[in-house]
Amino acid sequence: MDKIEPPGISASVVTALSNFIELHSASIGLLLLLFLLAGFVLERFAPVVIAIIGVAAVLVLGFAGPAEMLDVFGNPAPIAIGALFILSGALVRTGAIDAIIAAVTKRAEARPRRTIAELLFGTIGAAAFVNNTPVVIILVPVVRRLAQSVGRAATRLLIPLSYVAILGGTLTLIGTSTNLIVDGVAQELGEPAFGIFEISGVGLITALGGVLALALLGPLLLPDRPSPEPDENPNQNCLSELTVAQDASVVGRAIGEIGALKPSRVRIIALRRDNVLRRGDLETVELQPGDRLIVSGSPHELIGIAGGEDFIVGIGGLRGGADLSEDARPADAELFDATIAPSHPSIGRQLAEIPLLSRLPVRILAISRGRHLPGPDLRGARIRAADTLLIAARREELQALRDNVHLLGVSQSEARPFRRDKAPIVIAALGGAIVLAALGVLPIALLAIIAVAVVLATRCIDPEEAWAAIDGNVLVLIFAMLAIGAGLQNAGSVDLIVDNAIPWIRDAPFFVLLLSVYLLTSLLTELVTNNAVAVVMTPVVIGIAEQLGIDARPLLVALMFAASASFATPVGYQTNTIVYAAADYKFVDFLKIGMPMNLVVGLFACAGIYWLFPG
């Protein structure tokens, strides 16, 4: 069959173009890399979009074929990262993280300043074994609350939270996705795999330097800028009421003895019995049928209580003295969120008078309001615009709710009851994977997959929740950059970079070589997403080591730390971006404290590598 040429392009032109690309492939690949870096810095498109464009360019230029693109999916790094995302999600789903937050918040009531120090050091430990990004997401509201307790601006504590999470992530191979990516790319290039704790010695030295720098420089360089007051308790932001069922097992038991009512789960505001409201000293009160407890708590906790048989949660409509929704519990009804529109005719009236309760067999489980709780109880709460209702209703009532022009954003609630009895399984699965990886029984990617299988099989987390816990943008970006890295290597761009760098560093002392790799990687990481830098720099570092005839391992460790320890901009690392949005920070705030942090941490990291990984 004759080859069909593109219209308007002769065979000679195509041949000449192909020959030109083949002859100058290394330079063209380097130019493509510069364009990609510029795209990452300018942020006109999301990083993942820029990376996908780069993959398309690699394919069009012929730097990699379909088979090589498919080989990218065999890299163990993204597989391990995805599995660790699921395990982190399972820790949240089972309430393990929530329990830690509740314990920290309770301890802060007595010793807030000491608790802040303990929380920051605890963050370092947690980030060593759980991806540091969800750790920071979970702890941001807790730190805001602690800042309020000690009379400090949240801006004095949230940057340190991000920084210590970054430092904690460098303690183990699984602490950050960057470490796993460097290890995965290095293995594909023939380097032996890193052990899970192989970099921990350097990590401890680096963390020590970073903490000392924060302690000395923080009081001088961190901004003291008041932020809006956080909620009274970030874990207890919904008002509800629990009515004791007639045949409840809790009848006759003291409130303080009931697990579902522990202070770490809900806060008991008052008890209403025989129309008498009682506040304070309620732990010793024995419950009776019909007692109504006014409580505040997270939607997860309230839904968990509603799924039991001891309490009827929330309020339902009444018609002819009968509760229209007495059977509408989460077990046989779905949960929906709805926001009160400014046009709602019941604004200013009590929640019990809202028309939907008399029109539909639904149950309002809770009401939430920005910055503070409504009151005095659920029935008597005065409705305001933008209040959010948590509603239990059967699917057939959903359309009626959505047709109500006075309710906005009626949608399926994302709240789910915690599966606290499953928390030990998740902790054991994650801990077992870490221990076995440390002993070299199996690679961390395989062990993480086995751990995911365990938490799914034991219903610690549902499949759809597990997949939702995976950050798809992160994985697509990693796969795309791995494909681009393979293409640049085929094009000879990596060799071109190495050949031009060798004359400058050939006779440099080993410590200077470490610093050079660290500083170049650190600079790129502040401008470009760290995972992309890790993929591009790994083959460059290995090529330099081969040309100099030295072990690549110390340089790879320097690359890991430099790509992870990004402090000077809010876009260099995900945790910086999270805290940047959580308080009244300015871009320059990160520059002031982050630039000296980069220098100090870099010196400590390179000193640790020089000592523990002699070249």
pLDDT > 90 in the chain, percent: 15
| 73 found inside a domain | yes
* CA–CA separation, 492 and 486 (whole Å): 10
- Which amino acid makes up residue 25? S
**CATH classification at residue 377:** 3.30.70.1450
Condensed to tens digits (0 to 9), the pLDDT of residues 260-317 reads 787 767 888 888 888 888 887 888 888 888 888 998 888 888 888 887 788 888 888 6
| 380: containing domain | 241-297+308-412
The backbone region for 319, taken as left when phi is positive above 0, alpha when psi lies in -120 to 50, beta otherwise, is beta
Cα three-residue angle 568-144-365, rounded to 5 degrees: 130
| 55 found inside a domain | yes
Evaluated on CA atoms 318, 322, 325, 329, the torsion sign reads positive
Condensed to tens digits (0 to 9), the pLDDT of residues 158-173 reads 999 999 999 998 999 8
Total structural domains within the chain: 2
Does one domain contain both 398 and 435? Answer: no
* CA–CA separation, 220 and 213 (whole Å): 11
Does one domain contain both 258 and 158? Answer: no
* CA–CA separation, 578 and 590 (whole Å): 13
- Summarize the confidence of residues 444-464 as an average pLDDT: 91
Does one domain contain both 227 and 169? Answer: yes
| 327 found inside a domain | yes
Q: Which residues pair with 492 in a beta bridge?
A: none
Evaluated on CA atoms 455, 458, 462, 463, the torsion sign reads positive
* CA–CA separation, 470 and 466 (whole Å): 7
| 435 found inside a domain | yes
**Peptide bond before residue 223 is cis, with ω within 30 degrees of 0:** no
In contact, 489 and 468? CB cutoff 8 Å: no
Does one domain contain both 219 and 254? Answer: no
| 303 found inside a domain | no
Condensed to tens digits (0 to 9), the pLDDT of residues 170-222 reads 999 888 888 988 998 899 888 998 988 999 999 999 999 999 999 999 999 99
- Summarize the confidence of residues 236-242 as an average pLDDT: 81
Does one domain contain both 425 and 508? Answer: yes
Does one domain contain both 233 and 163? Answer: yes
Does one domain contain both 41 and 161? Answer: yes
- Summarize the confidence of residues 69-89 as an average pLDDT: 81
Condensed to tens digits (0 to 9), the pLDDT of residues 2-48 reads 444 555 556 777 677 777 777 778 888 888 878 887 887 676 877 78
Choose the final residue of a domain: 351, 383, 412: 412
Q: Give CA separation, 412 vs 209, 337, 338, 409, 464, in Å.
A: 47, 6, 9, 10, 14
Does one domain contain both 31 and 106? Answer: yes
Choose the final residue of a domain: 387, 412, 437: 412
Does one domain contain both 176 and 62? Answer: yes
Does one domain contain both 361 and 428? Answer: no
Does one domain contain both 401 and 426? Answer: no
Does one domain contain both 159 and 288? Answer: no
3-class DSSP state of 601: helix
Condensed to tens digits (0 to 9), the pLDDT of residues 327-361 reads 444 456 788 888 888 888 888 888 888 888 888 88
| 185 found inside a domain | yes
| 302 found inside a domain | no
* CA–CA separation, 46 and 139 (whole Å): 26
Evaluated on CA atoms 453, 459, 464, 469, the torsion sign reads negative
Choose the final residue of a domain: 362, 390, 412: 412
